[in-house]
Amino acid sequence: MYKIETPTGDWIEPPKGRCWGATEVVFKEYLKDNRVYFPNGGSGRPRIKQFRGEEKGLVPMTWWSSEFAGDNEAAKKEISALFPNDEAFGTPKPEELIWRVLTIATNPGDLVLDSFAGSGTTGAVAHKMGRRWIMVELGEHCHTHIIPRLKKVIDGEDKGGITEAVNWQGGGGFRYYKLAPSLIVNDRWGNPVINPEYNAAMLAEALAKLEGFTYAPSETRWWQHGHSSERDFIYVTTQNLSAEQLQALSDEVGSEQSLLVCCSAFRGVSAAQAAERWPNLTLKKIPKMVLARCEWGHDDYSLNVANLPMAQPAPAEPAVNKGRKTRMDRHTADLFGDDEGDVL
């Protein structure tokens, strides 16, 4: 924390909250060796000269100027044009920068993932460039910024950023999902258990999804929580089922249908005996079956959930309705299926 005299005669200190990168002794050696450079005509903060061949690690090989890729100042203007008087984002990235990156890295129709969406710049740019996108954001600004921003992009109301450069006119849509709480949590002994926040219906829906069944609880058959075909069903219960209960279930299901039974445990029979005695039932234990679906320590986390929620086909549009209003209707219907968005 020493003062340095610049060639212009000013005495300067390190920026607030920082310290110099070299001790005073080392700095003086650098000075003697003519390795210190003072920018701004000699009045700026000193920089250590580093010569080719001395660099540690990878050095940048290209330089993107602010004329080429924008800067934080431009990005702030973009955000305040969308959200006047908003100070939520201190250092947003300019759309132009993301445009350059996506131009290099992607083709039209590709899927762009931003798992820390922030103000939603990456999704907005991807959308204007005809890429598909997934954004993930846990902050409330998902609702206050990202969703309104993408609505403006879709409705052709966002005139800023790269809109003019790519001749963006509006269009497209998106779906919004709210993540459910984690299905598995550790109990106080560190054992994995089903999260107590899950009620019976949430648990049945989650297991149906994981096991590749469509969640569709029957109003008349208590053991039908979902189906994978006309004759194959899933039943989810946190009970410890007795042999008598399993027999009753098997009788209800009958020989023409099959049932996947997800339960906490079963008693009175071994798994092998159960398979032989009730061929129309498949027994799986929770949470072991859920853990078996989880993948740990992979380099590649390919999504292995087979029945991802799909968009409902849009109703046929009468020719007279084509245009912005119809796009908006479809987009809001997709987005606000219910107050909270769909739960994934």
Ligand X SMILES: C[S@@+](CC[C@H](N)C(=O)[O-])C[C@H]1O[C@@H](n2cnc3c(N)ncnc32)[C@H](O)[C@@H]1O
CB of 77 to ligand X, least distance (A): 15
161: contact with ligand X by CB under 6 A = no
Q: Between 114 and 211, name the residue whose CB sits nearer to ligand X.
A: 114
- SS3 category, 235: strand
Between 55 and 140, name the residue whose CB sits nearer to ligand X: 140
- CB 337 → ligand X: shortest distance, Å? 22
List the Cα angle 84/85/90 in 5-degree steps: 105
Select the residue interacting with ligand X from 78, 95, 96, 114 (CB under 6 A).
114
Per-residue tokens: 266:
């079963």
Q: Which two tokens stand for residue 303?
A: 């999504």
Tell me if 136 contacts ligand X by CB under 6 A. yes
Which of 119, 163, 224, 237 touches ligand X (CB under 6 A)? Answer: 119
Shortest distance, position 140 Cβ to ligand X, whole Å: 9
CB distance 234 to 209 below 8 Å: no
Name which position in 122, 163, 237, 250 contacts ligand X (CB under 6 A): 122
Any contact of residue 137 with ligand X (CB under 6 A)? yes
What are the structure tokens assigned to 228, written together? 């994978």
Q: What are φ and ψ of residue 282, in 5° steps? A: -115, 125
Classify strands 177-178 and 132-135 as parallel, antiparallel or unpaired: unpaired
State yes or no: residue 248 binds ligand X (CB under 6 A). Answer: no
Q: 114 by DSSP, 3-state: which?
A: strand
Rounded distance between C-alpha atoms, residue 100 and residue 129, angstroms? 11
Local structure of 12: helix, strand or coil: strand
Q: CB of 48 within 8 A of CB of 21?
A: yes
- Asked whether the CA dihedral 35, 37, 43, 44 is positive or negative, the reply is negative
Under DSSP, the state recorded for 316 is: P
Which of the ranges 114-122, 195-203, 221-229, 232-240 carries the binding residues for ligand X, by CB under 6 A? 114-122
Q: How far is the CB of 91 from ligand X (least distance, A)?
A: 8
Task: Using CB under 6 A, pick the residue from 116, 218, 317, 340 that binds ligand X.
Answer: 116
Supply the minimum distance, in Å, between the C-beta of residue 299 and ligand X.
19
CB of 104 to ligand X, least distance (A): 16
Residues 79-108 that bind ligand X (CB under 6 A): 92-93
Judge if the upstream peptide bond of residue 39 is cis by omega within 30 degrees of 0: no
> Which of 7, 21, 139, 181 contacts ligand X by CB under 6 A?
139
Residues that bind ligand X (CB under 6 A): 92-93, 114, 116-119, 121-122, 136-139
